[in-house]
Amino acid sequence: MATAPDAPVAALGHRRDRLLRAILSSFLFAYMGFILAVLLASAIWLTRTDRATGSPYLFGLARDEQLGGEILFAFKLSLVTSAITAGLAMVIGIPSAYALSRFRFRALAFIDTVIDLPIVMPPLIAGIALLLFFRQTMTGRFIEDHLVPVVYTKTGIVVAQFFVASAFAIRALKATFDQINPRFEGVARSLGCTAWQALWKVALPLARNGIIAGLVMTWARAMGEFAPIMMLAGSSPGRTAVLSVTAFLNMSAGHVEASIAVVVLMVIIAALTLVTFKRMGGQGYLW
């Protein structure tokens, strides 16, 4: 490891360097320990004995058909809606990101800002704005009445997730396309490819891992979405309550253990997503 040409300087083994290394890494490990302790606390709390049933909360939850069923339904609903959202976000995201990365637009700063707005917008406001669009505007009403009902339906979940997650998709994919030297496409063009072929045969295959990483991240982001979904799709258990909404609902009904179980489940999903993202070579800022 230490012989690799790009080995970190501190790995070379001088005593003073080791001291520096120890001091600096202690900060790193302290923070990491803090994160792990917080997450573990939730998991450990679930194994505590519930005074009502005399067995650990987790067993009680597994036996409670209604609560367990509610969480399972929310889990499946989250999986399905976020998968659809991630697919749709890719349909919009790949062309948009490529366009943003390769073409010069006159109002690039403006376009860039608008695309970033759903990311920085407070999620609750995004939800209210979506509800307002679908119920109070002519376009929205037309969609609701003639095409597909959105408000308080499962479609609404996908729409709310899509509104925010697509912005992330475009961000992540643009970072990928930015890293691919446009000269590759230029060379392909000079060798007889059309512009379409250069995109299809050179840029997209080169971006493959980045696209998959972006897809996974978008999917995870859609899975974690909360406030916009609650406003637009409502929070009806067994109908429109996704995982995050279920955690909230149970917290507000005093079922702390169910909320915490959902939290632990979501942390596990997030961890798996991150591992996939890193393995696929995903880069750039995530949120």
Residue whose pair of structure tokens reads 């036996």 in the numeric block: 63
164 in Cβ contact with 228 (< 8 Å): yes
Q: Which is nearer to other proteins, 234 or 284 (CB)?
A: 234
Q: Which is nearer to other proteins, 18 or 135 (CB)?
A: 135
Q: How far apart are the first and last CA of the chain?
A: 32
218 in Cβ contact with 174 (< 8 Å): no
**Beta carbon of residue 192, minimum distance to other proteins (angstroms, whole number):** 20
**Beta carbon of residue 195, minimum distance to other proteins (angstroms, whole number):** 12
What size, in residues, is the chain?
A: 287
- Rounded to 5°, angle at Cα 55 from 51 and 59: 125
Q: Which is nearer to other proteins, 3 or 136 (CB)?
A: 136
CA distance 241 to 245: 5
Q: Which is nearer to other proteins, 166 or 235 (CB)?
A: 235
CA distance 166 to 161: 8
Taking Cα atoms as reference points, which of 274, 100, 257, 74 lies closest to residue 177?
100
Taking Cα atoms as reference points, which of 116, 151, 138, 142 lies closest to residue 228?
151
Q: Which is nearer to other proteins, 3 or 139 (CB)?
A: 139
CA distance 267 to 262: 9
Q: Which is nearer to other proteins, 160 or 249 (CB)?
A: 249
Residues that bind other proteins (CB under 8 A): 50-52, 103, 105-106, 128, 131-141, 151-152, 230-231, 234-237, 239-240, 248-249, 251-254, 256
262 in Cβ contact with 74 (< 8 Å): yes
